């Protein structure tokens, strides 16, 4: 793992496997984590959006970290989601993640209350000051209702433990500016922008689609690193139908990822309400899209 990329480059936003009755499945999480690493992921992100963090308890989050760290912690970084709408709660989760063995924490912008930028900045600084782990900021205004504005990013980049960004802001211009003016490591959180973000200085991705197709997404990074931009573009375009099926067809990525993993016989289990499982027809279409992608050379 290059020292300049302490979280890795090809990160999976891993689902949280549950048993058939909806309980946390630590053994399933260990099996899934090992499979994802074997197939190309060099980092894992737990308890993010895809990991159903709003519906897992603090105890479940810590148990999940411990299980995954036990399985793959010696091989890849394990980043733990600690984002909530409550700064004190997020700080407590960050400390618990550190105690459980996480490599770093993922902190999303506080949601629902829509704090102004000085409050957003203070929130992230409190988290970074409250634990000893490096922090990846999670900028996803489409879900939280609040952007981490580029000027706020520039100030936060001065904090020694705020080191990376998961970028779901859909603003390549703003991202390019922050990349150019800071040492923040930028990860695409929107698979259709994985390659474009690399072109403006991004490092890699934190991907929901990687739950089902880690190898094809990693291959795009490898081709780009090798200087074969034509191949990187070709591989990126090949992945887009699956990306669209999983992320832009009207269902949350958690639902489509778990549907695919279940169809593939991999640990996933049900989603927790209010999410609902994909129907059989949707699952079949997802599986067909994945099979077309992995069948291509």
Q: Taking a C-beta distance cutoff of 8 angstroms, is the pair 120, 153 a contact?
A: no
Determine, yes or no, domain membership for 243: no
pLDDT at residue number 3: 38
Determine, yes or no, domain membership for 278: no
Which residues span the domain enclosing 85? 10-228
Q: Give the predicted TM-score (pTM) of the model.
A: 0.96
Residues of the chain whose pLDDT is less than 70?
A: 1-4, 297
pLDDT at residue number 296: 77
Locate 244 and state its tokens.
């669209």
As a whole number of angstroms, the distance between CA 199 and CA 286 comes to 29
Determine, yes or no, domain membership for 29: yes
Q: What share of the chain is helix, strand, coil (3-state, %, to 5)?
A: 50, 15, 35
Q: What is the pLDDT of residues 160-191, one digit of tens each?
A: 999 999 999 999 999 999 999 999 999 999 99
Determine, yes or no, domain membership for 275: no
Looking up residue 17, the CATH number of its domain turns out to be 3.20.20.70
Determine, yes or no, domain membership for 110: yes
Does the CA dihedral 51-57-62-64 come out positive or negative? negative
Q: Which residues are catalytic?
A: 138, 166
- 3-state secondary structure labels for all residues of 23-78: CECHHHHHHHHHHHHHCCCCEEEECCCCCCHHHCCHHHHHHHHHHHHHHHCCCCCE
Determine, yes or no, domain membership for 290: no
As a whole number of angstroms, the distance between CA 203 and CA 286 comes to 28
pLDDT at residue number 5: 75
pLDDT at residue number 297: 56
For the chain, the domain total comes to: 1
Locate 219 and state its tokens.
């291959």
């Amino acid at each position: 793992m290059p020292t300049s990329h302490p979280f890795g480059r090809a990160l999976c936003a891993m689902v949280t496997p549950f048993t058939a009755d909806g309980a946390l499945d630590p053994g399933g999480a260990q099996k899934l984590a090992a499979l994802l690493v074997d197939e190309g992921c060099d980092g894992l992100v737990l308890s993010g959006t895809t990991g159903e963090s709003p519906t897992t308890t603090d105890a479940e989050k810590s148990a999940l970290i411990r299980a995954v760290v036990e399985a793959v912690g010696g091989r890849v970084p394990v980043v733990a989601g600690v984002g909530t709408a409550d700064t004190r709660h997020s700080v407590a989760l960050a400390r618990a993640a550190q105690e459980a063995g996480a490599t770093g924490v993922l902190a999303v912008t506080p949601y629902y209350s829509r704090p102004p930028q000085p409050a957003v900045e203070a929130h992230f600084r409190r988290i970074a000051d409250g634990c000893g782990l490096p922090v990846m900021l999670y900028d996803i205004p489409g879900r939280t209702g609040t952007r981490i504005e580029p000027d706020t990013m520039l100030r936060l980049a001065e904090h020694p433990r705020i080191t990376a960004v998961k970028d779901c802001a859909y603003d390549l211009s703003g991202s390019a500016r922050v990349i150019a003016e800071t040492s923040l490591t930028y990860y695409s959180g929107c698979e259709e922008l994985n390659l474009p973000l690399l072109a403006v200085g991004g490092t890699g991705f934190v991907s929901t689609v990687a739950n089902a197709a880690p190898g094809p997404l990693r291959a795009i990074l490898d081709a780009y690193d090798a200087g074969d931009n034509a191949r990187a573009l070709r591989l990126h375009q090949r992945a887009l139908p699956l990306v669209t099926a999983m992320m832009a067809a009207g269902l949350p990525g958690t639902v489509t990822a778990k549907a695919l993993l279940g169809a593939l016989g991999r640990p996933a289990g049900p989603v927790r309400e209010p999410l609902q499982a994909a129907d059989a027809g949707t699952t079949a279409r997802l599986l067909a899209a994945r099979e077309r992608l992995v069948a291509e050379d």
